């Protein structure tokens, strides 16, 4: 076994440790990918925030929700949540991390759907104010359900 020892004055030891800590911190900062505003959690606290969010996505909606509903997601996603989450994942939403949590659904009447003048609604699901899911739908005969976040038309 080989043991090596060195004696440094206290000031030099402190300077070396601080320099090593600064290099380590710089390395961590450089490795952390930058976040874009879209990746940051956006909290929608008020009705005005929710309406503005939907408008940013290209949907014109009535100012007041048609319906609000609060429910508890199950501890594990099963049908129909699995199928619904399949619609959410390509949009950048995911219900999975919110299993067992309370979710609020806000439903708004949509006034600018390209294929229907009336009867189209937007669902926006929030968990602690953060959008976690959403869809555009038309209930009833010849109804449909599609992604809330859509490619430009």
- pLDDT at res. 34: 38
Give buried/exposed letters for 47-85 (b at 16+ CB in 10 A, else e).
eeebbebbeebebebeeebeeeeeeebeeebeeebeebb
Average pLDDT over residues 113-126: 94
Q: Report the SS3 class of residue 59.
A: coil
20 within domain boundaries = no
Q: What is the mean pLDDT of the chain?
A: 84
Report the domain count for the chain: 1
Rounded to whole angstroms, the Cα distance separating 84 from 44 reads 22
Instruction: Label residue 14 by pLDDT band (50, 70, 90).
Output: low
22 within domain boundaries = no
Average pLDDT over residues 91-117: 95
Q: Report the SS3 class of residue 132.
A: strand
By C-alpha distance, which of 56, 70, 45 is closest to 130?
A: 45
pLDDT at 51 over 50: yes
Residue 116 Rama label (left phi>0; alpha psi -120 to 50; beta):
beta
14 within domain boundaries = no
- pLDDT at res. 37: 35
**HSE-up (13 A, CA, CB side) for residue 68:** 7
Give 126-146 pLDDT, tens digit per residue. 999 999 999 999 998 889 999
89 within domain boundaries = yes
35 within domain boundaries = no
- pLDDT at res. 148: 95
pLDDT at 33 over 80: no
142 within domain boundaries = yes
* Domain of 125, in residue numbers: 47-147
Task: Give strand pairing partners of 105.
Answer: 69, 125
153 within domain boundaries = no
Helix H segments across 44-126? 47-56, 81-88
């Amino acid at each position: 076994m080989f043991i090596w020892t060195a004696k440094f004055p206290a000031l030099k030891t402190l300077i070396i440790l601080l320099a090593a800590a600064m290099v380590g911190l710089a390395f961590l900062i450089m490795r952390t990918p930058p976040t874009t505003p879209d990746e940051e959690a956006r909290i929608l606290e008020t009705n005005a925030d929710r309406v503005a969010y939907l408008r940013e996505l290209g949907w014109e909606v009535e100012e007041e929700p048609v319906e609000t509903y609060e429910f508890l997601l199950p501890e594990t996603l099963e049908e129909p949540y699995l199928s619904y989450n399949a619609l959410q994942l390509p949009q950048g939403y995911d219900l999975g991390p919110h299993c067992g949590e309370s979710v609020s659904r806000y439903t708004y009447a949509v006034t600018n759907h390209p294929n229907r003048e009336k009867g189209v609604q937007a669902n926006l699901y929030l968990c602690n104010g953060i959008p976690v899911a959403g869809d555009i739908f038309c209930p009833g005969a010849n109804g449909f359900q599609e992604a809330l976040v859509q490619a430009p038309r």
